[in-house]
Amino acid sequence: MITPALFGTVQNVIHGHHKGKYRKHEIAFRGLLTCAHDKCTVTAELKKGKYVYYRCSGYRGKCPLPRFREEQIAEKLGQILKDIQIPDAAVARIERSLDGARLQQRDRAAGERARLEQRLADVSRRMDQAYTDKLDGKIPEDFWQRKMIDWQAEEQKINIALAGLRTWNNDRIADVRRVLELANKAYFLYFVRKPAEQARLLRKVLLNCAIDGTSVYPTYRKPFDIIFERAKREEWSGRADLNCRPLAPQASALPG
């Protein structure tokens, strides 16, 4: 169902760069939940050396939140990932849209690169001419030094903008693709992982999550909050607008 390449990509997103070793009785979801009744932290404890139970910390007094076994918590939290699942057909449409956006951005980036390279050549030509004028005594030393500082600063800004054009477009589209892959496959992957790995996956998409006796109330990270709203309305237009911005750095702030 999942290609090795896709599985590896999703695993990288899930685990990040620091993949901790799973311990048999690690309390996986500690720090991830709050009580919906009194906003206290939901804490956990190990019983009989093998059972993990979650409960309200009770910091504000007696609370009606029941105790939950870790397996119950894991099942409830899995719904969070189901609620951001993007259908395969929608992923395919968004992928096609991304391909079109990549081509458009490539053309725009090429035009912007040509403009910046022309400006860089103009600045270099001014610097060379000013140096010649200084040697010929046409301009004073202090004027030449002052202008050189300005031109060198502009030269640095242009070079930074050029470097950004080389990386921004592909990196931004790659980020969107990773989000799509995670939203599409996370629910399936969640239920074949151990609790500690499930918790790491949840932290990728959640800011926090409240829980009561029956339901969970997640607050999603961006752009998963947008995906959740689209999934709830089944609104999949195929547009690659998961909180994306223009796929090229803005160089218009450079002095004219």
Average pLDDT over residues 183-210: 90
**What is the reported pLDDT for 251?**
39
Average pLDDT over residues 28-43: 92
**What is the reported pLDDT for 108?**
81
**What is the reported pLDDT for 104?**
73
Contact present, 93 and 236 (Cβ < 8 Å): yes
Model pLDDT for residues 51-103, shown as the tens digit of each residue: 899 999 988 889 999 999 999 999 999 988 989 988 888 888 888 877 777 77
**What is the reported pLDDT for 8?**
58
- Please name the residue that has the structure tokens 């685990």: 15
**What is the reported pLDDT for 17?**
47
**What is the reported pLDDT for 125?**
92
Burial (Cβ within 10 Å: 0-12, 13-18, ≥19) of residue 55 = middle
**What is the reported pLDDT for 216?**
92
Angle at 131 between CA 129 and CA 132, to 5 degrees: 65
* pTM beyond 0.75: no
SS (H, E, C) 116-130: HHHHHHHHHHHHHHH
pLDDT over threshold 80, residue 250: no
How far CA 223 is from CA of 141, 176, 205, in Å, comes to 55, 9, 9
Q: Rounded to whole angstroms, how far apart are CA atoms 119 and 125? A: 10
Query: What's the chain's average pLDDT?
Result: 80
Residue type, 247: L
Q: Where are the beta strands (DSSP E) in the chain?
A: 33-35, 42-47, 51-56, 68-69, 206-211, 216-220
**What is the reported pLDDT for 25?**
57
Q: Where are the beta strands (DSSP E) in 17-165?
A: 33-35, 42-47, 51-56, 68-69
Question: 1-4 long-range contacts, Cβ below 8 Å, gap at least 24?
Answer: 1/188, 2/185, 2/188
pLDDT over threshold 80, residue 253: no
**What is the reported pLDDT for 11?**
57
Burial (Cβ within 10 Å: 0-12, 13-18, ≥19) of residue 245 = exposed
pLDDT over threshold 50, residue 247: no
Query: Where do the structural domains in the chain lie, given as residue ranges?
Result: 4-87+184-233, 89-176
Contact present, 155 and 123 (Cβ < 8 Å): yes
